[in-house]
Amino acid sequence: CSFNIVMTDNLQHTPCKDEWRYRDCQWNLYTSQKLLEKAEQFKFRSQDIVVATFPRTGTTLTQQIIWLLKNASTIKVGKKYGDIDDRFPFLEFNKKQYGEKLNLDHDILEKQSGERLIKTHVPFHMLKPNLLSAKPKIVFLLRNPKDIATSLYHFYKGLPMYGLWPGEWEEFVEK
């Protein structure tokens, strides 16, 4: 019941709300097949900084650190700055699913000039051709899988928007 855990055909688990498979990965409402297809075709640029992570590995903290390093002068003069999701767009996020009428982050990114800060949970194998040809700066995070599993379990137990995980810890880590 994870965003993008590679699944095998014989694996059975208790499904979360509206989950589905695409390119051998398990997905849910945070994205759509259309957005994933757009992400696969996304034109990265050499000056981009991409934070590419598995969910719950420290993505938001890393985004914040990178943004602060890149924008130290904004902070020094005390200027206001917006939410991290506005400053560091999420390539495949489906804002419309949550009732927002804003442009998709993908569309916002395409219109930006110069250096872009990009967040994604899309696995490397889906973005590989465009990443390798553009050669952006990529920040890839690793975290102890036990810590990720614990964080994902509590994430799914407490967030109705993804469909609350109906099972217990033992089933979550087994499946």
Strand partners, 21: 26
Which of these, 92, 70, 86, 96, lies nearest to 23 by C-alpha position? 92
Active-site annotation holds for 154: no
Active site residue: 106, 121, 125, 154, which one?
121
Tokens encoding 113 = 């000039």
| Alpha-helical regions (H) of 48-175 | 59-70, 72-76, 84-87, 105-111, 124-134, 145-158, 169-174
Which residues are identified as catalytic? 121
